[in-house]
Amino acid sequence: MNNRARTPLIIAISLIIGIVLGYYIIPSKESKATFVSSSKTALAQKFAYIMDLIEDDYVDEIDFDSISDNFILSFLQQLDPHSTYLTTSQFKTEQESLDGGFEGIGVQYRIIDDTIAVIQPVKGGPSQKAGIMAGDRIVTINDTLWAGKKIDNNDVMQLLKGKKGSKVKLGIKRQGIGKLIAFEVRRDIIPTYSVDYFGMIDSKTGYIRLSQFSQTTSEEVNRALNDLLRRGMKQLVFDLRGNGGGYLEQAYKVADEFLPAGDLIVYTQGRKRDRNDFFATRGGMFEKGKLIILIDELSASASEIVSGAMQDNDRAMIIGRRTFGKGLVQEQKLLPDGSAVRITVSRYHTPSGRSIQRPYISGNPDQYFEDFINRYATMSKGDKDTIAHPDSLKFKTKKGRFVYGGGGIEPDIELPYYNYKKSEFYTQVLRKGLLYKYCFDYVDKHRNIFKKYSDGDDYMQNFNVEQGLYESMIEYAIKNGVKEEIPKGKEKAEIMLLMKAYIAQSLYEDKYYYSIFLKLDDDLQKAIPYFGYIN
Mean pLDDT in residue range 245-260: 96
Task: Give the tens place of pLDDT for each residue, 347-375.
Answer: 999 999 999 999 888 878 788 888 877 77
Q: Reply yes or no on whether 326 is catalytic.
A: yes
> Residue 190's pLDDT band (boundaries 50, 70, 90)?
confident
What are residue 240's phi and psi, to 5 degrees? -110, 15
Alpha-carbon dihedral angle through residues 455, 457, 458, 464, given to the nearest 10 degrees: 120
- Label residue 460 exposed, middle or buried (CB < 10 Å: 0-12, 13-18, 19+): middle
Within a 13 Å sphere around the CA of 259, how many CA atoms are in the beta-carbon half? Answer: 29
| 328-334/340-349 β-pairing | antiparallel
Could you report how far apart the first and last alpha carbons of the chain are, in Å?
Answer: 75
Residue 357 DSSP code:
P
Q: Reply yes or no on whether 301 is catalytic.
A: yes
Q: Where are the alpha helices (DSSP H) in 7-136?
A: 8-21, 39-57, 64-77, 88-99, 126-130
329 neighbors 367 (Cβ within 8 angstroms) = no
82 neighbors 344 (Cβ within 8 angstroms) = yes
Question: Of residues 173, 326, 437, 500, which has the active-site annotation?
Answer: 326
Q: Reply yes or no on whether 312 is catalytic.
A: yes
Task: Give the tens place of pLDDT for each residue, 466-486.
Answer: 999 999 999 999 999 998 777
Q: Is the dihedral of CA 129, 130, 133, 138 positive or negative?
A: negative
252 neighbors 217 (Cβ within 8 angstroms) = no
Spatial distance between the Cα atoms of 285 and 289, rounded to a whole number of angstroms = 10
Question: Of residues 52, 80, 256, 312, which has the active-site annotation?
Answer: 312
Task: Give the tens place of pLDDT for each residue, 84-100.
Answer: 998 888 888 787 767 76
Spatial distance between the Cα atoms of 137 and 472, rounded to a whole number of angstroms = 24
Spatial distance between the Cα atoms of 62 and 56, rounded to a whole number of angstroms = 10
Question: Of residues 194, 218, 301, 339, which has the active-site annotation?
Answer: 301
pLDDT value of residue 484: 77
| 137-141/115-121 β-pairing | antiparallel
398 neighbors 262 (Cβ within 8 angstroms) = no
Give me the CATH topology for the region 101-191.
Pdz3 Domain (2.30.42)
Amino acid at 505: Q
Mean pLDDT in residue range 197-209: 97
Residue 217 has pLDDT above 90, yes or no: yes
Spatial distance between the Cα atoms of 213 and 98, rounded to a whole number of angstroms = 7
CA neighbor of 139 nearest in space, from 174, 104, 115: 115
What are residue 282's phi and psi, to 5 degrees? -85, 155
pLDDT value of residue 237: 98
> Residue 48's pLDDT band (boundaries 50, 70, 90)?
confident
pLDDT value of residue 383: 61
- Label residue 285 exposed, middle or buried (CB < 10 Å: 0-12, 13-18, 19+): middle
pLDDT value of residue 11: 47
104 neighbors 120 (Cβ within 8 angstroms) = no
Spatial distance between the Cα atoms of 344 and 223, rounded to a whole number of angstroms = 33
- Sequential DSSP letters for 47-68: HHHHHHHHHHH-SS---HHHHH
Q: Is the dihedral of CA 529, 532, 533, 535 positive or negative?
A: positive
Q: Any idea where the domains of the chain sit in the sequence?
A: 8-77, 101-191, 195-331+348-418, 424-525
- Residue 115's SS3 state is strand
Spatial distance between the Cα atoms of 92 and 105, rounded to a whole number of angstroms = 17
Superfamily of domain 195-331+348-418: 2-enoyl-CoA Hydratase; Chain A, domain 1 (3.90.226.10)
Whole-structure pTM over 0.85, yes or no? Answer: no
